[in-house]
Amino acid sequence: MNDAHLQAEAAAWVADFEAAITAQDRPRLTDLFCDPSYFRDNGALTWDYRQFHGRETVVSTLLSLAREVEPNHFRLSEGWPSPQVLGAGDAAIIEAFFDFETKDGSAVLLLNAVSEGGVLKARAIFTRLEDLKIIEQAAPYPRGRGYTPSYSGETWKEHRDAAQRYDNVEPEVMVIGAGQAGLTTSAYLRKFGVDVLNVDRHERVGDSWNKRYDSLFLHNPIEMNDFPFLSFPPHYPEYLPKDLIGEWLDLYARYMDLNVWTSTTFKSAHYDSKLERWDAVLGLPDGSERVLHPRHIVLATGGIGGKPSMPSFPGLDSFAGKVIHSSHYTRNSDYGIKKAIIIGVATSAHDIARDLVEGGVAVTMFQRDAVVINNVATANLAYAGYMDPDIPTPLVDIRYGIGLINPLREKASQAYHKMAQELDRPLLSRLEAAGLRLGDGVNGQGWLDLFLRSGGGYYLNTGTSELIADGSIKIEPFQRIVEFVPTGAKLDDGRIIEADIVILATGYQSRRTEVVDFFGDDVADKVGEIARLDPEGEWANIWGQTAQRGLWFNGGGINQMRPGSARLALLIKADLAGLIPEALRRGESRLAYEKTREAVG
């Protein structure tokens, strides 16, 4: 199929699509989709993060949303690639990008289709909000000196410092956290003309990485992890060390001219529904408190997990050595130890075990649950698009977006995991021989799926697996521990595994616990789980709306939060401007809308 023919088919499909949703023509719209087919939206039509499975559901949803947001002016995209065939054989799909408008914004539609008798049929569509009509693009290098003095003789720095203190004004948005998720959210909000303040409990921007264990490196390549508006310099290494990330965050905050209060504790917040703003209590560096009144709060304090999970084990209180969570581990030389026990066998446990062994410490890892292991080179095959210099990162990001439609994601994860296990079979066999219990994740979907479900339960091998395979790190089933005693862990055969330190690599609590701490049980109950797969297959409450007005969440890997932060900032900007219709808000109003849509469908 030549390029001209593909373009003609794609143009015909989108013309029929627009005509069908405009005329509310159900049969015509139904005929444009395969059975089954899928639809995912990031802000463009639902003002939220939603996905819909099955042709009848997709058609009913699109017709209902079209009445609400009035999508129009669909055309082949000028900024995205021309229609093309991806893959081969039964796996081949036709990919096409379309730009379109809504009442309040501009968006893109990504189509994955097959051709039946010269007519395209959609297998999946992905729509994404790209801009709002109310946003005025700031001119580069605004004329003048960049500020209007508040008093005679005020310098630029004095003026900027006063603005950052918020002496007589309130920020429109408060972002809790100055890590990658918090800073990128604020960078986008600032670009969209929103006054935003970041607050962070650490002394310096970047300390959320600086203070983690010394041997920490990212396990995915630098090509995945570019920040918006500022790319990494070409001399940075493929796998970024945690200290370099910390330095980058500090540089990024200054480069983007963000308002950041460090050594500041977010204590609590209460939402005033009449005034539609928060009463947010902050603990300042001098020990005093200050109450600010932002209209929106973004909690950007973690990726998937919240506070460290510190389970209690029989006799652990009697252990004479040190007990710490893996999040508090630094380096082996800080502890002056000869023997260590680690509870857990996922990523942090592996990294810490390797650091200890390389420092001459005898390590025993106790395994509680099956773990998925893949070599990091094998894992990188899942990121192949990011490492192809001919494929721009934004294109990989948007393809990732359609790939997160849950039935498609699950099928792809199963196929990848099966391939990865075969590639890594020699290593996996050695690990099983060393006593490590390997798993396949949920329904054979491997580590890609586990990342979205809990952020744990897997390790991408950068060298620790070989230490386990050759016996340098010992593996024992956790179930064999009868109790802890002053000198270590007593096993069911009477042996004592001696240790000077017990490191709990036991993961993190749900981010819901943070919501309870900051906002109370009522808000936590209203919002529900965060960064867990919801019934639709979306990452619950991340980037999109929540059931609590004015409360948002960001997190995840950098390749996720890069496009996610942009959509989050656009949705907040839209909310500030009153653009989000009540019928499409989370909560009781949306439940009523869903019932109406189902009845009409």
pLDDT digits (tens, 9 = 90+) for 526-554: 999 999 999 999 999 999 999 999 999 99
DSSP 241: B
- Residue 561 is assigned to a structural domain of this protein: yes
Weakest mean pLDDT among 182-191, 369-378, 482-491, 508-517 = 508-517
User: Of 469, 491, 506, which closes a domain?
Assistant: 506
497 and 517 belong to one structural domain: no
Residue 303 confidence (pLDDT) above 80: no
Rounded Cα gap, residues 83 and 66, in angstroms: 24
- Residue 241's pLDDT is 94
Residue 31 confidence (pLDDT) above 70: yes
- Residue 169 is assigned to a structural domain of this protein: yes
127 and 241 belong to one structural domain: no
The answer to whether 200 touches 262, Cβ cutoff 8 Å, is yes
353 and 492 belong to one structural domain: yes
Global pTM reads 0.93
- Residue 51 is assigned to a structural domain of this protein: yes
User: DSSP string of 205-219?
Assistant: TTHHHHTS-TT-B-S
The one-letter code for the residue type at 520 is G
- Residue 259 is assigned to a structural domain of this protein: yes
Percent of the chain with pLDDT over 70: 97
Rounded Cα gap, residues 419 and 6, in angstroms: 32
358 and 483 belong to one structural domain: yes
Residue 76 confidence (pLDDT) above 70: yes
User: Of 482, 506, 530, which closes a domain?
Assistant: 506
Number of residues written out for the chain: 601
Write out pLDDT tens, residues 81-126. Answer: 999 999 888 889 999 999 999 999 999 999 999 998 889 999 999 9
494 and 517 belong to one structural domain: no
- Residue 144 is assigned to a structural domain of this protein: no
170 and 58 belong to one structural domain: no
- Residue 592's pLDDT is 43
200 and 93 belong to one structural domain: no
The one-letter code for the residue type at 281 is V
Average pLDDT in the chain: 93
254 and 357 belong to one structural domain: no
Residue 109, domain CATH: 3.10.450.50
Write out pLDDT tens, residues 486-495. Answer: 999 999 999 9
Residue 278 confidence (pLDDT) above 50: yes
- Residue 140's pLDDT is 83
Between 230 and 1, whose confidence is greater? 230
Write out pLDDT tens, residues 417-459. Answer: 999 999 999 999 999 999 999 999 999 999 999 998 888 899 9
- Residue 528's pLDDT is 93
Residue 591 confidence (pLDDT) above 50: no
441 and 525 belong to one structural domain: no
Please compute the mean of the pLDDT values over residues 383-406 and round it to a whole number. 93
Between 325 and 510, whose confidence is greater? 325
Helix (H) or strand (E) holding 418, with range, is helix 406-423
Helix (H) or strand (E) holding 340, with range, is strand 339-343
User: Of 134, 169, 203, which closes a domain?
Assistant: 134
The answer to whether 552 touches 570, Cβ cutoff 8 Å, is no
Please compute the mean of the pLDDT values over residues 581-589 and round it to a whole number. 81
547 and 481 belong to one structural domain: no
Write out pLDDT tens, residues 116-172. Answer: 888 999 999 999 999 999 998 877 888 898 899 999 999 999 999 999 999 989 999
Residue 179 confidence (pLDDT) above 90: yes
Split at pLDDT 50, 70, 90, the class of 596 is very low
Residue 205, domain CATH: 3.50.50.60
Split at pLDDT 50, 70, 90, the class of 461 is very high
- Residue 600 is assigned to a structural domain of this protein: no
Weakest mean pLDDT among 8-22, 54-68, 221-235, 292-306 = 292-306
Rounded Cα gap, residues 200 and 266, in angstroms: 8
The answer to whether 280 touches 298, Cβ cutoff 8 Å, is no
Residue 589 confidence (pLDDT) above 70: no
Domain count, the chain: 3
- Residue 293 is assigned to a structural domain of this protein: yes
Residue 126: which domain range? 3-134
- Residue 510's pLDDT is 83
516 and 450 belong to one structural domain: no
- Residue 150 is assigned to a structural domain of this protein: no
111 and 175 belong to one structural domain: no
Rounded Cα gap, residues 598 and 253, in angstroms: 46
Split at pLDDT 50, 70, 90, the class of 1 is low
Write out pLDDT tens, residues 205-216. Answer: 999 999 888 888
Helix (H) or strand (E) holding 196, with range, is strand 196-199
- Residue 562's pLDDT is 93
Residue 218 confidence (pLDDT) above 60: yes
Residue 349 confidence (pLDDT) above 50: yes
- Residue 442's pLDDT is 96
- Residue 386 corresponds to which tokens in the numbers above? 């990011």
- Residue 600's pLDDT is 47
